[in-house]
Amino acid sequence: MKRHTSDGADRLSAELALNSPDLLRYLQRRLDTDDAADALAEFMMVAWRRVDALPTDSEPARMWMFGIARNIVANAARSERRRWSLAERFRAVLEVAPTEGRPADEGIEVRDAIARLSPDQAELVRLVHWEGFSIADAGEILGLTASTTRTRYQRARADLKAALSLHVDRF
Amino acid sequence: MSMTPDRDRLDDLLDQSSPRTTVVTHAVADELTRLRVEAETTATRTVRISRWKRPTLVGLLSVMLLGGAATATATVSGAWSPWAQTPDGAHTYTLPSGAVCEARIGAVNGNNKEAREAVENFYQNLDFGSLLTDDNLDDMIAQLRTEDSTQWNDDGTTEPSGYGTKHYSADHEYEWAVSRILGNALDAELIRVGVDSNASNLSYLGETHCPGADW
């Protein structure tokens, strides 16, 4: 049985406590409710198995966790999602919990336009505008260099303006 | 939401396009805490969780505990998941390595009572031995070897898995054949009794403990 160092385990526990609500929201914005619950359970399992790779500082640790969540979402798009017994009760709680945000049908056109971008561009836009990451941090989560991130983000904006029939003033 | 220097109409549209999310009520926060604690326990006691891509009616999670301390803990302290304490079905079988597995199936969920009961009745009354014959297992293993399989790694990457790859495990293949035979039998039973599994959103859970298995 693998044992983690108590320092790493304590730090991961603290980071998960701090970031779990944001990670849940991240997953819910990309998956349906049941899948988000299972994806969060899977995320936590992966995070605990990789605890030895947890960055020491808090902000890099947060980005490391979003990087793991990003991989889980990407895999979910490619395969049937498994149901985790670990998430069984969580799914039931989420089913009846109140939701917040704009009406579900608002912004569909914009979400569709984002979804038509390349996967990396789309995720870049979502991380910046839905999760509130800076463009640089969003690029780092996706493993992109700073210059590539800037280029892709600007291209994504230009494509979105065209798709949404907005005036292209600065491009 | 974003802090770009020259915000315009597009920024507003993108910020406002975020889908709805759950309010983190006390109940949700409690569940997040429980999940965090249980995930640590599960992740540290589970030597390997194998996941295979397959088209199937239901989701089946196999938690395989390998040898030594982990197995002793499972046996002595009864480390089955809470739902597995009262399963709808349970059976044992022997892997090619000689390890004996105990599998428990239950926690049937779905939005149709008759559909749920059909699944529960199936497992409660199933003669596992009549399904898991050597001939049936040989046939299923031959079929599995014709199918593509994928292994998910901890870092999110995937690799081909199954027979003829570096990830091949005869024990894992056998365990998968058992699972597929039972799943197929359930599919046939639901069709026979007229249950629309998709409309009923049916799912169930399985947990398998195989001390000493060679995964």
What DSSP letter does each residue of B170-205 carry, written as one string? HHHHHHHHHHHHHHHHHHHHHHHTT--HHHHT-EEE
Q: What pLDDT, on a 0 to 100 scale, did the predictor assign at position A109?
A: 93
Locate A139 and state its tokens: 């690029």
Residue A170 — very low, low, confident or very high, per pLDDT cuts 50/70/90?
very low
Residue B15 lies in a domain: no
Contacts of B23 in chain A (CB under 8 A): 97-100
What values do phi and psi take at A5, rounded to 5?
-65, 145
All residues of chain B having their beta carbon less than 8 Å from the beta carbon of residue A160 are: 10, 14
Q: Would you call A85 and B39 a contact, using CB atoms and an 8 Å cutoff?
A: no
User: Would you say residue A65 has pLDDT above 50?
Assistant: yes
Task: Concatenate the DSSP letters of all residues of chain A into one string.
Answer: -----HHHHHHHHHHHHHHHHHHHHHHHTTS-HHHHHHHHHHHHHHHHHTGGG--SSHHHHHHHHHHHHHHHHHHHHHSPPPPPGGGHHHHHHHHHS-EESS-TTTTHHHHHHHHTS-HHHHHHHHHHHTS---HHHHHHHTT--HHHHHHHHHHHHHHHHHHTT------
Rg (CA), chain A: 17
Share of chain A above pLDDT 90, in %: 64
Residue B16 lies in a domain: no
- Maximum Cα–Cα distance for chain B, whole Å? 70
Domains of chain A, start order: 1-100 (no CATH), 102-166 (1.10.10.10)
pLDDT of residue B68: 26
Cβ partners under 8 Å of residue B134, min gap 6: none
Q: Which residues form the domain of B161?
A: 48-209
A54 within 8 A of A15, measured Cβ to Cβ = yes
Split at pLDDT 50, 70, 90, the class of A3 is very low
Average pLDDT, chain A: 87
Q: Both ends of chain B: CA-CA distance in Å? A: 47
* pLDDT given at position B157: 66
Q: What is the pLDDT of residue A169?
A: 46
Asked whether residue B23 is assigned to any structural domain, the reply reads no
Residue B10 lies in a domain: no
**Within a domain: B187:** yes
Distance CA A12, CA A51 (A): 7
Please give the pLDDT value at position B67.
Answer: 27
Over residues B138-151, the pLDDT tens digits come to: 898 888 888 776 66
How far is the alpha carbon of B14 from chain A, nearest alpha carbon, in Å? Answer: 6
| Residues contacting residue B190 through CB under 8 Å, at least 6 positions apart | B57, B115, B118, B119, B122, B197, B202
Provide the number of CB pairs (under 8 Å) joining chain A to chain B: 193
> What is the spatial distance between Cα B134 and Cα B213, in angstroms, rounded to a whole number?
19
**Which residues have C-beta within 8 Å of that of residue B159, sequence separation ≥ 6?**
B150, B151, B153, B165, B167
Q: What is the pLDDT of residue B187?
A: 81
SS3 B24: coil
Contact criterion met (CB < 8 Å) for B39 and A164: no
Distance CA A60, CA A53 (A): 11
Distance CA B2, CA A63 (A): 16
- Residue B64 to residue A3: CA distance in whole angstroms: 18
What is the number of structural domains in chain B? 1
Q: Which of residues 45 through 104 in chain A touch B, CB cutoff 8 A?
A: 45-50, 68, 70-72, 74-75, 78-90, 93-94, 97-104
B77 touches chain A (CB under 8 A): no
pLDDT computed for residue B184 by the predictor: 85
Q: Does A105 touch chain B (CB under 8 A)?
A: no
Sign of CA dihedral A81, A86, A92, A97: negative
Instruction: Please indicate, yes or no, if residue B91 is contained in any of the structural domains.
Output: yes
Q: Which helix (H) or strand (E) holds B152?
A: strand B149-152
Residue B9 lies in a domain: no
Q: Which of B124, B95, B133, B129 is nearest to B209 (CA)?
A: B95
How far is B92 from B104, CA to CA, in rounded Å?
9
B160 touches A: beta carbon within 8 Å: no
pLDDT, one tens digit per residue, over A114-168 is 999 999 999 999 999 999 999 999 999 999 999 999 999 999 999 999 999 875 4
Q: Give chain B's residues under pLDDT 70.
A: 1-6, 42-79, 149-158, 197-198, 215
CB-CB neighbors (< 8 A) of A80 in chain B = 53-56, 59
Q: Is the ipTM of this complex over 0.90?
A: no
The residue whose two tokens read 């901890």 is: B154
C-alpha distance from B85 to closest chain A C-alpha (Å): 13
Q: B86 and B106 in contact (C-beta within 8 Å)?
A: yes
Tell which of A129, A150, A153, A170 to mutate to test the B interface (max B CBs under 10 Å).
A129
Task: With respect to residue B154, please indicate whether it lies within any of the assigned structural domains.
Answer: yes
How far, in Å, CA of A167 to CA of A161, rounded?
A: 7
B83 at A interface, C-beta within 8 A: yes
Of B15, B33, B107, the CB nearest to A129: B15
- Calculate ∠ Cα B10-A64-A107, nearest 5°: 25
B35 contacts chain A (CB < 8 A): yes
Which helix H or strand E contains B35, and what residues bound it? helix B26-45
